[in-house]
Amino acid sequence: MSPTTGGLKDLHLLHERLHKKQSELEAGPRKIALREGICKKKLAEIAEQKNCIKNIQKAADDKNLQFRTNEQKINELKGKLNAAASNREFDIFKGQIEADSAANAVLEDEYLELLEQVDAAREKNKILEGELEVATRLAKEIAIEVKAAEAGLQVAIDELAKEVSAAEICIPSKFGDDYRRLVQAYGPGAIAVADETACTECFTELSPQHQLELRVGKVIRCRMCGRLLYSDDAEE
């Protein structure tokens, strides 16, 4: 492998290592944001669940109030029943008592059912609060982990950036501006290895002349995607 080709290959590998470290550093805040998003979602679910509990409890209290109001009415009717002045009055009061008692039986069933719903909703809320506790703990752990890794990643990035800068000496001067634009656009993909007949990035077939230039260790640009190409099979 020629010095130029070998240098380009080394530069390519350095770019890939640099890109990997940069990606790891950039992924840290996204991991934190993801965990914080989960916590916010759980908080919203808990708030919604508490509102659900409040509404069900209010409905249950309303049923209970109706039940007690009817009980009072029934007791008053029982008093009137005992004091009925005629059989007709007696039958009227008796009918009202039976109707209100039947209504109260329904109200009692509905009230008990609502109380069961309140219990179930509170149990669900406990589960959500437990999930929030776990999510909060994980979010804190991820934040600590990311913070601890940041300094080491930044040092590695700075060192690799220096190595990349030093290795760029292998770039032919005529490709200097093109190389910088390619790095800006593609990162490590600015450089690509070529197989025997094609660019491995866009798979465009190389001309016989370009294949020959690669074999003798020259750096060329892909005529389609513009990447700088080198060959692992270049002659020494």
Compute the distance between CA of residue 163 and CA of residue 168 in angstroms, rounded to an integer: 9
Structure tokens at 226: 């513009």
**65, containing H or E segment:** helix 3-82
**pTM exceeding the 0.75 threshold for the entire prediction:** no
The answer to whether 104 and 70 are in contact (CB under 8 A) is yes
Cα–Cα distances (Å) from 180 to 100, 175, 202, 228, in that order, read 88, 9, 19, 11
Phi, psi of 199 (to 5 degrees): -70, 135
Give the three-class secondary structure for 100.
Answer: helix
Tokens 């008093």, located at residue: 79
205: three-class secondary structure by DSSP? strand
Three-class DSSP category at 196: coil
- Quick one: pLDDT at residue 82? 84
Residues of the chain short of pLDDT 50, as ranges, are: 1, 236
- Which domains, from first to last, does the chain contain? 21-169 (1.10.287.1490), 171-236 (no CATH)
Residue 1, pLDDT score: 47
Task: Give 210's contacts (C-beta < 8 A, 6+ positions apart).
Answer: 220, 223, 229
SS3 state of residue 191: strand
pLDDT per residue over 157-200, tens digit each?
Answer: 999 999 999 999 989 888 899 999 999 999 999 999 888 789 88
